Structure 1
């Protein structure tokens, strides 16, 4: 073993014989330090023994290390061995710790990126997109409007959705409630509950938009916020008010839509506004609407066998129109016209829901059975009996009801009582059978 006090000059002059793969020059000042020369390179190395085993570590290239630094590194390594510590294991531990720290940093960056994108605002928008994908375009628009007005402008909009607390949700809802908008506050609370529930179920429900899975929602912070009870509408128009309303309707498309709304028994305005020319069968006088209200996965076909006045309106509107052409204006246009008429009439407030309630209340007063009214107005049909077992179309009953209803309207509008056709009672029909 060649041993000399290492100097820069001696390291420079160290040469590798042609017949040898490597040669060592050991230092006298730091006995465990050597310079190893191989083909094309020279490096500082450390060699010692631990538990009867040889430990050799490469310190580094002689061009990158100052000699004195190499000696200090050799002394440090020997100190570890004197303490019974294997430098190789220590280095492995450091590498593993460094790798773990790097992985943790990457995960933290990824989480920060996720937190930045998966906010309360993003959750609300994804929920509306989910509604739209299920064919509930109006519900999607209504929900997005509520979120725009009352959520997106709050300090919590950019909070990570999974970190929003019940107290924060309650604060959002309370701020709306305290302005006197009780119904709006209740609707907003319900939308927030539904948005979080959709995200929570998304990993397990293939019918829910997969984008909601990424929010990683496991709890619903809106659940603890109690539902806000709102008084159900009680407003019905008197016969005199209904006459004044009908007299105010002209012949514009939107007013024809409003007139049909009444002659058809108070159907939902949003469904009427979607009707196309192909939805009216001139041979039978039947209008087809699509009812997507509630939790239906697909819209339910809702057929309305119109009486004379309703047929006349649709015959004129559908004449010469392409099958895919819409028959009426939008629901918003209808609401605007109702507001204009209401303002001229004065008196208590009313809207399309009140008009629908008026129609059904008067139909009930005429003796039209609850079952027939339910099928005519497409509500309360979600039970097992109606959804699975009762497949009767109720066409005859609905047509009789609308014929009687037009006669009743004639009495109201013209003041000339007309003989009403008998309406087949469901109870009597069953007894006769």
Structure 2
């Protein structure tokens, strides 16, 4: 270490006049009080205050700081402090390392605390429910995702915003019971049961996400350990038994126009034997084979991982409705753009769309059916009751149970249905729908039914 031979009483002016040394070694100008303080000047001209002493006989150098930052009095005070520590047998470097470690631990603790706070704000009950709905949609459970999102939005997010914004990991059974009980008190037992099921499913997914690779990894971050809805008793819902009689069905048919899009959806659902509205509304122009007058639907209901193809060989009136809808869809598209060729556009067109861009919302036809029901001023009914009426009347036409199950795409499960029975029942379904249209014609004209044996 190059150094001046004589000690100086360092002053600001003397420090300013220190020149960069030649060569590649720094020089050190020592103060006279305290003797351990010096100024290091590098060949590049950088100047720093340095403590230069001994620890247990071993030379010790500790940089105090730049002369541009530290003033001379503070540097002298720091040098005396370091010497005092050494006189006590304390290594200042170890002390600084301990302070740095303590500071790092303090920062880490604050960051962990902030992360926990941010996590509570981010991983709420509402966020968990939305993530679960996204999971359903990603699995192809579009209808279930839409229904879950609607029920959770109305009966959790809007009805209980204070609970919805709590961390999902802090939701307990009392919270879940409070939300479900309110729906029951509104007289909506079926909805309450569905709400309980969706809450339970969302918490189960988050709870199992760490150990099930098929579940989204983002659910792990919610830190859910328990299912607060699990302890709540399942809600038994009485099965519906409402069916429309011939006179009611005649009135219902007469109320359906040929111009209203929802009416057309209701009419097609009826003439196709009571199909599920959500499946009909997902149909596109490309799902219809005009040569065979067959409409293809996709049934994603239940535990299926992929939607099941559901073919409907339509009778003349139902086929006419579909063909008119396809013409309407092409007209809407032609009004929007003429750049794509007809065949390419055909595969993208929704049968039921107000604007041509998106499918008709699946709750809209149900609301229209409710309007018709009110005008009839009789016992209330909904789309499930219409579907039940169709199957009941099909049974009255002697359409056997297996054919009805295939026609209405009931829960076709079990080993036989899942793995071995690949017969599409096209002829049986076509005959059933032809007989059904005849029955509807008779009802519309006030004629009594005629039975048919199959």
Q: What TM-score, normalized to structure 1? A: 0.78
How many angstroms apart in 2 are the aligned matches of 1:23 and 1:319? 94
- For residues 119 and 321 of structure 1, do their structure 2 counterparts lie closer, same or farther at Cα, with a shift above 3 Å needed? closer
Question: 1:169 is matched with which residue: 154, 166, 176?
Answer: 176
Shift of 1:168: 2.8
1:61 shift after superposition: 5.6
1:117 matches 2:122? yes
Q: State how far apart, in whole Å, the 2-side matches of 1:16 and 1:395 are.
A: 101
2:245 to 234, 238, 242: 238
Partner of 1:260: 268
The residue number in structure 2 matching 1:426 is none
**Counterpart among 238, 245, 251 of residue 258 in structure 2:** 251
Equivalent residue number for residue 299 of structure 2: 291
Gaps of 5+ in 1: 424-433
Alignment of 1:149 onto 2:154 = yes
Give the secondary structure class of the aligned counterpart of 2:162. Answer: coil
- Displacement of 1:274: 3.1
Tell me the CA shift for residue 21 of structure 1: 5.8
Query: Is the contact made by 2:8 and 2:30 (CA closer than 8 Å) also made in structure 1?
Result: no
Change (3 A) 1:169 1:68: same
Q: What is aligned with 2:338?
A: none
The equivalent of 1:47 in structure 2 is 53
> Structure 1 residues 247 and 49, CA, compared in 2 at 3 Å: closer, same or farther?
closer
> Are 1:338 and 1:351, in contact at CA under 8 Å, matched by a contact in 2?
yes
**Residue 57 of structure 1 corresponds to which residue in structure 2?**
62
After TM superposition, the structure 1 = structure 2 runs for residues 160-239 of structure 1, keeping only pairs within 5 Å, are 160-200=167-207, 212=219, 215=222, 217=224, 219-239=226-246
RMSD across aligned C-alpha pairs, in angstroms?
4.0
Counterpart of 2:36 in structure 1 is: 33
Mark the CA change 1:9 to 1:184 in structure 2 (over 3 Å): closer, same or farther: closer
Alpha-carbon distance in 2 for matches of 1:398, 1:383: 21
Change (3 A) 1:140 1:23: closer
**Range with bigger deviation, 95-104 or 407-416:** 407-416
Instruction: Give the 3 Å change call, closer, same or farther, for CA 278–16 of structure 1 in structure 2.
Output: closer
- Residue 280 (structure 1) aligned with residue 288 (structure 2): yes
Alignment TM-score, normalising by the size of structure 2 = 0.75
Counterpart check, 1:389 vs 2:426? no
Task: Say if 1:264 and 1:310, in contact at 8 Å, map to a contact too.
Answer: yes
Residue matched to 1:373: 404
Structure 1 position 156, deviation (Å): 2.8
Structure 1 residues 95, 351: CA separation in 2 closer, same or farther (over 3 Å shift)?
same
Partners of 2:398 and 2:269 in 1: how far apart? 21
* Conserved? CA contact 1:176–1:184, under 8 Å: yes
1:352 partnered with 2:383: yes
Q: Deviations over 1:134-155 (max 9, x none)?
A: 4444433333332332333311
SS of 2:253 mapped into structure 1 = helix
The change in CA–CA distance for 1:302 and 1:34 in structure 2 (over 3 A counts) is closer
Stretch moving more, 199-208 or 216-225: 199-208
Q: Do the aligned residues in 1 keep the contact of 2:21 with 2:27 (CA within 8 Å)? A: no
* 1-structure distance, mates of 2:20, 2:242: 109
- Distance apart, 1:377 and its partner CA: 0.7
Distance in 1 between the 2:65 and 2:254 partners? 100
Residue 391 of structure 1 and its aligned partner are, at CA, apart by: 0.8
* Structure 2 stretches lacking a partner, 5+ long: 331-345, 354-359
1:269 has 2:277 as partner? yes
Aligned-partner SS, 1:155: helix
| Structure 1 CA distance for aligned equivalents of residues 263 and 13 of structure 2 | 107
